[in-house]
């Protein structure tokens, strides 16, 4: 189901009208609070009979008594032929003054309920309420996907200020919006008679018609049993109609009383529909529950922020789609490129491929994958598809597999290129599904399924070379990553290490620049980040950024990375040449599959070399003293024992529960980190049995060795690394 697409269009179409409902609802939420504060308290022991007797004596011509949701008592009647509504003190029955509802609140109420358009407006308001309910449901699904599941719905939110505002605001109002939608629809159903509130029709009454005096209200048995705090209204019998009766309406039901004998003529319990409607009114308006009304008001005020930030995110996503020069019509193109992209980044690759093929003399048509249709004239079809969430299609391509299943097979050859992140279990799963569907339908293959990790320009270039070989002509693909907006960072300190294998390393700490709210709102500021996220650095004269794992979080107040200088490395050489005071251009790329959420479970941190950097960041941020155990491998403590002083201090502060080091190039150093794991196998099994979470960072060779060692250790428990990954307990960050 295209949840994101539904959510987006509901927000855009219904959002403007929802602004009116939200703002007017916020104003109306003040009324229950103010009314409750102004109302005189009602004694808990006061019966309807007592209050009715007092009012009959003090208010001549009283016809009806109501207890408003605020607790205020209002009596309606005629005085010398003039209709009057009077406020009454429930303790004495004395008139306090004329009751006059606020004309301002009445206007806002009519605007909120019907847009000042009568029944047509009420129907429109009901439709908007339905749309807001769907918006809340789709928003909840998207939020759960973004945060990694329903269990993490209240987890930490990262990203730009606009993204955080939209998600946090949506999370806060999600339940209230859904509740408001359901209650509004319930009230609309009652208003238009779509549900019957009264289970029984008004009974046939046989009141006494004997010419006897009326019993005083204070002597009526039923009224003496009913408390005023549950009263909704009491109708007095008409003075000029001996057959008229007392009629009382309570929250529990409705009754009729003979005016002469005091006998209860009939009693109907409130129907289930009536009770549900009463609850809907209370939850939707806050009337009768003044403490709930401010919650509704805050939810109403949040709707404009929710809508504006959603609009900004939609516009940003829309602006990311590039313009394609010389995009031929489908029927005139020999090459078709179809794109499935969730956030627009895959379109950058498509644009570069499109331009290269056009330059090579091809007539090319590029479009979204939702438009999949291949005319007979096409010779090759290229599908560039990103995987979203847990293997899902991007929203706009949600039905592409169905289109492929029903599209006629032509002589064109097809190739699928997937984009994703190997940290996720469903790496390029959607591209695999597309490739499988095409093969099943019988499309000829141009290239085997390709996979691109973390939008790697190098991997894309290699795939382009394979495509050029199949086409029999060279292709010049000039892909320039569409980089996020960069922020200037000032280097404030550096710690240098000789490093192993002749490759020196340095821990570089940059100042986190302060930014105004406007900069943060427009995305010009560095967004919040966590240890384990990635810092993208663009060296002068380079078109491709280098990504470094962060050894700090935004709460630390600085940006820290550990960089080994590689022979011929452009970016590492540039960073190693910096002195304090120098500035770099950088951006944050989230790495949610690797970052560590707050937990009370044990945490096993396994790293080697500069791979210890994000693990050090996890420990630095462990102010809650989660039991963290670090297994750290290096070559020589005199050359590459990064963060040594910090680790010792964190041990003393109990941010780190245990430290196990291995140095592979020193006598009695303990060998490699995977050997340390094997020596500590009993404790590792015990930690895993307690639900331990594992994070591994370092070279790919080291990560493979660690996985093999852990598989051997866990085999006696009937577990494996793959099973831990499947349950979200094991993640790697490798280079």
Q: What is the pLDDT of residues 472-483, one digit of tens each?
A: 999 998 887 767
User: For residue 636, how many other CB atoms are within 10 A of its CB?
Assistant: 15
Q: Helix, strand, coil shares of the chain as percentages rounded to 5?
A: 45, 20, 35
The structure tokens listed for 395 are 């929203």
Q: Can you tell me the distance from the alpha carbon of 308 to that of 310, in angstroms, rounded to the nearest whole number? A: 5
Mean pLDDT score, 553-563: 94
Per-residue model confidence (pLDDT) at position 526? 78
Burial of 23 (0-12, 13-18, 19+ CB in 10 A): middle
Greatest CA separation for the chain: 118
Q: Can you tell me the distance from the alpha carbon of 441 to that of 252, in angstroms, rounded to the nearest whole number? A: 65
Summary mean pLDDT of the chain: 86
Q: Would you place residue 288 in the very low, low, confident or very high pLDDT band (cuts 50, 70, 90)?
A: confident
Instruction: Give which of 581, 587, 591, 582 is closest to 559, Cα–Cα.
Output: 587
User: For residue 84, how many other CB atoms are within 10 A of its CB?
Assistant: 16
Strand partners, 254: 249, 268
The residues, any chain, with a CB within 8 Å of residue 132's CB and separated by 6 or more, are 14, 18, 21, 177, 180, 181
> Which residue do the tokens 């009263």 mark?
231
For residue 394, pLDDT over 90 is answered with no
DSSP 110: H
Q: Helices 272-285 and 293-319, interaxial angle, to 10°?
A: 70
Per-residue model confidence (pLDDT) at position 312? 76
> Which residue do the tokens 């930690």 mark?
687
Per-residue model confidence (pLDDT) at position 191? 79
Q: Can you tell me the distance from the alpha carbon of 474 to that of 4, in angstroms, rounded to the nearest whole number? A: 39
> Which residue do the tokens 């992209």 mark?
341
User: For residue 172, how many other CB atoms are within 10 A of its CB?
Assistant: 15
DSSP 198: -
Cα within 13 Å of Cα(654), Cβ side? 4
Query: What H or E segment, with its residue span, contains residue 628?
Result: strand 628-634
What pairing do the DSSP bridges indicate for beta strands 246-250 and 231-235?
Answer: antiparallel
> Which residue do the tokens 């809508």 mark?
307
For residue 272, pLDDT over 70 is answered with yes
User: For residue 531, how many other CB atoms are within 10 A of its CB?
Assistant: 27
Q: Can you tell me the distance from the alpha carbon of 223 to that of 54, in angstroms, rounded to the nearest whole number? A: 13
Tens digits of residue pLDDT in 612-643: 999 999 999 999 999 999 999 999 998 999 99
Q: Would you place residue 152 in the very low, low, confident or very high pLDDT band (cuts 50, 70, 90)?
A: low
pTM above 0.75, yes or no: no
Query: What H or E segment, with its residue span, contains residue 507?
Result: strand 505-511
For residue 316, pLDDT over 80 is answered with no
The residues, any chain, with a CB within 8 Å of residue 107's CB and separated by 6 or more, are none
For residue 15, pLDDT over 80 is answered with no
Q: Can you tell me the distance from the alpha carbon of 202 to that of 217, in angstroms, rounded to the nearest whole number? A: 22
Cα within 13 Å of Cα(615), Cβ side? 32
């Amino acid at each position: 189901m295209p949840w994101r697409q539904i959510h987006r269009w509901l927000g855009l179409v219904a959002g403007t009208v929802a602004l009116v409902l939200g703002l007017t609802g916020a104003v109306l939420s003040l009324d229950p609070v103010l009314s409750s504060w102004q109302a005189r308290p009602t004694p808990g022991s006061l019966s309807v009979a007592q209050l009715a007797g007092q009012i009959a004596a003090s208010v001549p011509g009283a016809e009806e008594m109501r207890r408003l949701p605020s607790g205020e008592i209002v009596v309606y009647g005629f005085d010398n032929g003039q209709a009057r509504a009077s406020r009454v003190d429930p303790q004495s029955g004395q008139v306090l003054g004329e009751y006059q509802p606020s004309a301002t609140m009445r206007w806002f109420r009519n605007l909120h309920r019907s847009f000042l358009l009568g029944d047509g407006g009420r129907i429109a308001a009901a439709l908007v309420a339905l749309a807001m309910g769907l918006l809340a449901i789709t928003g909840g699904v998207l939020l759960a996907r973004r945060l990694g599941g329903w269990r993490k719905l209240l987890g930490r939110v990262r990203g730009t200020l606009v993204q955080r505002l939209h998600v946090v605001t949506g999370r806060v109002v999600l339940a209230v919006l859904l509740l408001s939608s359901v209650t509004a629809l319930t009230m609309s159903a009652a208003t238009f008679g779509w549900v019957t509130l009264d289970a029984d029709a008004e009974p046939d009454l046989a009141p006494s018609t004997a010419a006897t005096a009326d019993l005083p209200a204070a002597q009526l048995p039923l009224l003496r049993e009913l408390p005023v705090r549950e009263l909704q209204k009491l109708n007095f019998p008409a003075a000029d109609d001996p057959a008229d009766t007392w009629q009382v309406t309570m929250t529990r039901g409705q009754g009729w009383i003979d005016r002469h004998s005091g006998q209860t003529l009939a009693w109907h319990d409130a129907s289930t529909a009536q009770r549900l409607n009463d609850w809907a009114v209370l939850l939707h308006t806050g009337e009768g529950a003044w403490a709930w009304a401010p919650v509704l008001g805050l939810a109403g005020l949040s709707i404009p922020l929710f809508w504006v930030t959603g609009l900004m995110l939609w516009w940003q996503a829309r602006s990311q789609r590039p313009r394609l020069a010389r995009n031929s019509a489908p029927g005139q193109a020999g090459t078709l490129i179809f794109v499935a992209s969730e956030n627009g980044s895959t379109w950058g690759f498509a644009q570069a491929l499109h331009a290269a093929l056009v330059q090579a003399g091809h007539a090319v048509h590029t479009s979204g994958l939702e438009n999949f249709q291949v005319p007979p004239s096409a010779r090759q079809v290229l599908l560039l598809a990103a995987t979203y969430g847990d293997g899902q299609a991007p929203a706009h391509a949600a039905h592409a597999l169905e289109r492929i299943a029903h599209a006629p097979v032509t002589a064109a050859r097809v190739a699928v290129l997937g984009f994703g992140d190997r940290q996720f279990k469903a790496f390029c799963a959607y591209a695999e599904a597309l490739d499988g569907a095409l093969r099943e339908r019988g499309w000829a293959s141009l290239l085997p399924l390709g996979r691109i990790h973390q939008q790697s320009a190098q991997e894309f270039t290699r795939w382009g070379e394979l495509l050029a070989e199949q086409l029999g002509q060279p292709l010049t693909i000039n892909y320039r990553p569409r980089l996020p907006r960069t922020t200037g960072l000032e280097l404030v300190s550096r710690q240098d290490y000789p490093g192993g294998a002749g490759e020196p390393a340095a821990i570089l700490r940059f100042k986190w620049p302060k930014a105004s709210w406007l900069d943060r709102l427009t995305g010009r500021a560095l967004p919040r980040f966590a240890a384990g996220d990635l810092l993208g650095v663009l060296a002068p004269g380079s078109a491709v950024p280098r990504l470094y794992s962060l050894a700090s979080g935004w709460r630390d107040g600085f940006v820290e990375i550990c960089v080994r200088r590689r022979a011929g490395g452009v970016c590492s050489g540039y960073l190693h040449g910096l002195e304090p005071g120098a500035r770099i251009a950088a951006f944050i790329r989230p790495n949610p599959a690797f970052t560590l959420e707050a937990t009370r479970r044990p945490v096993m941190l396994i790293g080697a070399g500069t791979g210890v950097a994000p693990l050090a960041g996890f420990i630095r941020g462990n102010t809650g003293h989660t039991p963290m155990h670090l297994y750290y491998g290096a070559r020589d403590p005199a050359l590459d024992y990064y963060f040594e002083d910090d680790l010792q201090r964190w041990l003393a502060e109990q941010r780190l529960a245990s430290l196990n080091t291995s140095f592979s190039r020193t006598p009695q150093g303990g060998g490699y980190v995977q050997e340390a794991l094997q020596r500590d196998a009993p404790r590792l099994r015990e930690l895993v049995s307690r639900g331990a979470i594992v994070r591994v960072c370092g070279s790919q060779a080291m990560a493979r060795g660690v996985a093999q060692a852990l598989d051997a250790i866990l085999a006696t428990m009937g577990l494996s690394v793959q099973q831990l990954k499947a349950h979200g307990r094991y993640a790697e960050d490798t280079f």
